[in-house]
Amino acid sequence: MRILLAEDDAETATYVQRGLSELGHVVTRVENGEDALHLAVTETFEALILDRMMPGMEGLDVLRRLRAAAVQVPVIVLTAKGGISDRVSGLDAGADDYLVKPFALAELVARLNALARRPPISEVVTRMEVGDIVLDVLRRSVTRAGRVLHLQPREFSLLEVLMRNSGRVVTRTMFLEQVWGFHFDPQTNIVESHLSRLRAKLRANFPDDPIETIRGAGYRMRTDD
Protein backbone atom coordinates (compact mmCIF):
# COMPACT_ATOMS: atom_id res chain seq x y z
CA MET A 1 0.00 0.00 0.00
CA ARG A 2 1.27 3.49 -0.81
CA ILE A 3 0.95 5.58 2.32
CA LEU A 4 1.66 9.27 2.87
CA LEU A 5 2.83 9.97 6.41
CA ALA A 6 2.75 13.60 7.52
CA GLU A 7 4.35 13.84 10.94
CA ASP A 8 6.80 16.46 12.22
CA ASP A 9 7.99 14.48 15.24
CA ALA A 10 10.96 12.53 13.86
CA GLU A 11 10.79 9.79 16.48
CA THR A 12 7.12 8.97 15.90
CA ALA A 13 7.58 9.23 12.14
CA THR A 14 10.52 6.82 12.15
CA TYR A 15 8.65 4.39 14.38
CA VAL A 16 5.59 4.41 12.13
CA GLN A 17 7.60 4.33 8.91
CA ARG A 18 9.73 1.42 10.06
CA GLY A 19 6.71 -0.54 11.29
CA LEU A 20 4.70 -0.03 8.11
CA SER A 21 7.68 -0.73 5.84
CA GLU A 22 8.27 -4.05 7.59
CA LEU A 23 4.70 -4.98 6.65
CA GLY A 24 5.50 -4.23 3.01
CA HIS A 25 3.93 -0.78 2.71
CA VAL A 26 5.59 2.04 0.80
CA VAL A 27 5.73 5.07 3.08
CA THR A 28 6.38 8.61 1.85
CA ARG A 29 7.31 10.86 4.74
CA VAL A 30 6.79 14.65 4.96
CA GLU A 31 7.26 16.93 7.92
CA ASN A 32 4.85 19.78 7.36
CA GLY A 33 1.34 20.53 6.20
CA GLU A 34 2.24 22.29 2.95
CA ASP A 35 4.27 19.34 1.66
CA ALA A 36 1.54 16.93 2.72
CA LEU A 37 -1.09 18.89 0.82
CA HIS A 38 1.12 19.21 -2.26
CA LEU A 39 1.95 15.50 -2.40
CA ALA A 40 -1.56 14.34 -1.60
CA VAL A 41 -2.94 16.38 -4.48
CA THR A 42 -0.26 15.61 -7.06
CA GLU A 43 0.41 11.94 -6.34
CA THR A 44 -1.76 8.93 -5.65
CA PHE A 45 -1.81 7.30 -2.24
CA GLU A 46 -4.03 4.62 -0.83
CA ALA A 47 -4.04 6.09 2.63
CA LEU A 48 -2.89 9.22 4.43
CA ILE A 49 -1.67 9.45 8.03
CA LEU A 50 -1.91 13.04 9.15
CA ASP A 51 -0.58 14.51 12.37
CA ARG A 52 -2.81 17.22 13.76
CA MET A 53 -0.09 19.51 15.06
CA MET A 54 2.45 20.39 12.42
CA PRO A 55 4.50 23.49 11.73
CA GLY A 56 3.01 25.71 9.06
CA MET A 57 -0.31 24.32 8.01
CA GLU A 58 -2.16 22.37 10.67
CA GLY A 59 -3.27 18.79 9.95
CA LEU A 60 -6.97 19.60 9.99
CA ASP A 61 -6.45 22.47 7.53
CA VAL A 62 -4.65 20.11 5.16
CA LEU A 63 -7.55 17.72 5.51
CA ARG A 64 -10.19 20.36 4.85
CA ARG A 65 -8.37 21.55 1.71
CA LEU A 66 -7.98 18.00 0.48
CA ARG A 67 -11.68 17.31 0.93
CA ALA A 68 -12.51 20.66 -0.69
CA ALA A 69 -10.37 19.58 -3.65
CA ALA A 70 -12.41 16.35 -3.80
CA VAL A 71 -9.45 14.14 -2.85
CA GLN A 72 -11.19 11.15 -1.32
CA VAL A 73 -8.15 9.23 -0.02
CA PRO A 74 -8.80 7.61 3.39
CA VAL A 75 -7.26 9.69 6.16
CA ILE A 76 -6.29 8.75 9.70
CA VAL A 77 -5.63 11.74 11.94
CA LEU A 78 -3.02 11.35 14.68
CA THR A 79 -3.18 13.62 17.65
CA ALA A 80 -1.60 14.19 21.01
CA LYS A 81 -4.85 15.78 22.13
CA GLY A 82 -7.15 13.15 23.57
CA GLY A 83 -9.81 15.71 24.34
CA ILE A 84 -13.47 14.93 24.09
CA SER A 85 -14.22 17.67 21.59
CA ASP A 86 -11.02 17.11 19.59
CA ARG A 87 -12.24 13.85 18.11
CA VAL A 88 -15.44 15.46 16.89
CA SER A 89 -13.59 18.31 15.18
CA GLY A 90 -11.26 15.80 13.52
CA LEU A 91 -14.07 13.72 12.12
CA ASP A 92 -15.96 16.88 11.12
CA ALA A 93 -12.99 17.99 9.06
CA GLY A 94 -13.29 14.81 6.99
CA ALA A 95 -11.08 12.30 8.76
CA ASP A 96 -12.04 8.64 8.36
CA ASP A 97 -10.48 7.64 11.64
CA TYR A 98 -8.78 9.21 14.60
CA LEU A 99 -5.97 7.88 16.76
CA VAL A 100 -4.71 9.44 19.96
CA LYS A 101 -0.96 9.36 20.61
CA PRO A 102 0.67 7.33 21.98
CA PHE A 103 -0.76 4.37 20.12
CA ALA A 104 0.36 0.82 19.46
CA LEU A 105 1.55 0.18 15.94
CA ALA A 106 -0.78 -2.83 15.72
CA GLU A 107 -3.72 -0.48 16.32
CA LEU A 108 -2.63 1.85 13.53
CA VAL A 109 -2.08 -1.03 11.12
CA ALA A 110 -5.47 -2.58 11.87
CA ARG A 111 -7.25 0.72 11.33
CA LEU A 112 -5.27 1.44 8.18
CA ASN A 113 -6.23 -1.93 6.73
CA ALA A 114 -9.85 -1.46 7.66
CA LEU A 115 -9.92 1.94 5.95
CA ALA A 116 -7.97 1.17 2.83
CA ARG A 117 -10.25 -1.60 1.65
CA ARG A 118 -13.49 -0.08 2.83
CA PRO A 119 -16.04 -0.15 0.03
CA PRO A 120 -17.35 3.22 -1.12
CA ILE A 121 -20.38 4.41 0.76
CA SER A 122 -22.52 4.04 -2.36
CA GLU A 123 -22.17 0.27 -2.22
CA VAL A 124 -23.93 -0.63 0.98
CA VAL A 125 -23.36 -4.29 1.63
CA THR A 126 -26.43 -5.91 3.13
CA ARG A 127 -25.45 -9.55 2.76
CA MET A 128 -22.03 -10.98 3.56
CA GLU A 129 -20.58 -14.40 3.12
CA VAL A 130 -17.33 -15.60 4.64
CA GLY A 131 -16.58 -19.29 4.34
CA ASP A 132 -19.79 -21.09 5.24
CA ILE A 133 -21.13 -18.21 7.33
CA VAL A 134 -23.77 -15.94 5.83
CA LEU A 135 -24.90 -12.73 7.51
CA ASP A 136 -27.95 -10.80 6.30
CA VAL A 137 -27.89 -7.26 7.68
CA LEU A 138 -31.48 -6.42 6.76
CA ARG A 139 -33.10 -9.61 8.07
CA ARG A 140 -30.61 -9.72 10.94
CA SER A 141 -30.06 -13.40 10.45
CA VAL A 142 -26.91 -15.51 10.53
CA THR A 143 -26.48 -19.03 9.19
CA ARG A 144 -23.53 -21.34 9.24
CA ALA A 145 -23.58 -24.10 6.61
CA GLY A 146 -27.29 -23.37 6.22
CA ARG A 147 -28.01 -23.77 9.92
CA VAL A 148 -29.64 -20.75 11.58
CA LEU A 149 -27.72 -19.29 14.55
CA HIS A 150 -29.50 -17.33 17.24
CA LEU A 151 -27.31 -14.39 18.17
CA GLN A 152 -27.86 -11.58 20.67
CA PRO A 153 -27.94 -8.10 19.07
CA ARG A 154 -24.39 -7.28 20.29
CA GLU A 155 -23.08 -10.61 19.09
CA PHE A 156 -24.62 -9.91 15.72
CA SER A 157 -22.94 -6.49 15.58
CA LEU A 158 -19.58 -7.99 16.56
CA LEU A 159 -19.87 -10.60 13.81
CA GLU A 160 -20.91 -7.93 11.32
CA VAL A 161 -17.78 -5.89 12.09
CA LEU A 162 -15.60 -8.97 11.81
CA MET A 163 -17.14 -10.03 8.50
CA ARG A 164 -16.86 -6.56 6.97
CA ASN A 165 -13.15 -6.79 7.82
CA SER A 166 -12.77 -10.48 7.08
CA GLY A 167 -9.15 -11.52 6.80
CA ARG A 168 -8.05 -8.37 8.63
CA VAL A 169 -7.41 -7.72 12.28
CA VAL A 170 -10.06 -5.90 14.28
CA THR A 171 -8.77 -4.44 17.55
CA ARG A 172 -10.61 -4.21 20.81
CA THR A 173 -10.94 -0.43 20.56
CA MET A 174 -12.36 -0.79 17.04
CA PHE A 175 -15.03 -3.10 18.45
CA LEU A 176 -15.77 -0.69 21.28
CA GLU A 177 -16.15 2.18 18.83
CA GLN A 178 -18.17 0.40 16.18
CA VAL A 179 -20.41 -1.81 18.30
CA TRP A 180 -20.98 0.32 21.39
CA GLY A 181 -19.91 3.78 20.24
CA PHE A 182 -17.45 4.01 23.16
CA HIS A 183 -14.15 5.77 22.60
CA PHE A 184 -12.72 4.61 25.90
CA ASP A 185 -11.47 1.23 27.02
CA PRO A 186 -13.17 0.00 30.19
CA GLN A 187 -11.03 -1.83 32.70
CA THR A 188 -13.37 -4.77 32.33
CA ASN A 189 -12.78 -6.52 29.04
CA ILE A 190 -16.35 -6.48 27.80
CA VAL A 191 -15.36 -7.26 24.20
CA GLU A 192 -13.77 -10.56 25.08
CA SER A 193 -16.78 -11.81 27.02
CA HIS A 194 -19.14 -11.06 24.17
CA LEU A 195 -16.76 -12.51 21.61
CA SER A 196 -16.31 -15.74 23.52
CA ARG A 197 -20.10 -16.21 23.49
CA LEU A 198 -20.25 -15.44 19.79
CA ARG A 199 -17.46 -17.87 19.11
CA ALA A 200 -19.15 -20.57 21.16
CA LYS A 201 -22.31 -20.19 19.10
CA LEU A 202 -20.41 -20.20 15.81
CA ARG A 203 -18.37 -23.22 16.86
CA ALA A 204 -21.21 -25.35 18.20
CA ASN A 205 -21.34 -28.61 16.24
CA PHE A 206 -18.55 -27.48 13.93
CA PRO A 207 -14.97 -28.61 14.02
CA ASP A 208 -13.34 -25.20 13.62
CA ASP A 209 -13.52 -21.66 15.05
CA PRO A 210 -13.96 -19.12 12.23
CA ILE A 211 -12.55 -16.35 14.46
CA GLU A 212 -8.94 -16.34 15.54
CA THR A 213 -7.26 -14.34 18.27
CA ILE A 214 -4.19 -12.37 17.17
CA ARG A 215 -2.11 -11.93 20.27
CA GLY A 216 -1.44 -8.38 21.25
CA ALA A 217 -3.52 -7.04 18.37
CA GLY A 218 -7.11 -8.26 18.19
CA TYR A 219 -9.33 -10.72 16.40
CA ARG A 220 -9.63 -11.83 12.81
CA MET A 221 -12.27 -13.62 10.76
CA ARG A 222 -10.65 -16.43 8.81
CA THR A 223 -11.15 -16.44 5.08
CA ASP A 224 -10.74 -19.47 2.88
CA ASP A 225 -8.24 -17.84 0.59
- Residues 120-179 interacting with other proteins (rule: CB under 8 A): 154
Q: Is the distance from CB of 40 to CB of 71 less than 8 angstroms?
A: yes
Tell me the closest approach of the beta carbon of residue 1 to other proteins, in angstroms: 26
**Identified binder of other proteins from the candidate list 145, 186, 212, 214, rule CB under 8 A:** 186
Nearest to 221 by CA among 97, 109, 110: 110
Residue of the chain from 10, 88, 91, 145 that contacts other proteins (CB under 8 A): 88
Among 22, 181, 224, 225, binds other proteins (CB under 8 A): 181
Number of H helices, E strands in the chain: 8, 12
Window 26-85: residues binding other proteins (CB under 8 A) = 82-85
CB 5 within 8 A of CB 59: no
Q: Which of 201, 220, 204 is nearest to 212 (CA)?
A: 220
Does 11 contact other proteins by CB under 8 A? no
Q: Are 153 and 165 in contact (CB under 8 A)?
A: no
The answer to the question of residue 201 lying near other proteins (CB under 8 A) is: no
Among 190, 201, 213, 222, binds other proteins (CB under 8 A): 190
Q: How far is CA 93 from CA 84, 88, 143, 206, 209, in A?
A: 15, 9, 39, 46, 40
49, β-bridge pairs: 5, 76
Residue 22 as a binder of other proteins (CB under 8 A): the answer is no
Of 117, 197, 201, 203, the one binding other proteins (CB under 8 A) is: 197
Judged by CB under 8 A, does residue 92 bind other proteins? Answer: no
How many Å apart are CA 113 and CA 11, to the nearest integer? 23
Q: Does 187 bind other proteins (CB under 8 A)?
A: yes
* Residue number, 53 or 190, with CB nearest to other proteins: 190
**Residues in contact with other proteins by the rule CB under 8 A:** 82-85, 88, 100, 102, 104, 154, 180-190, 192-194, 196-197, 216
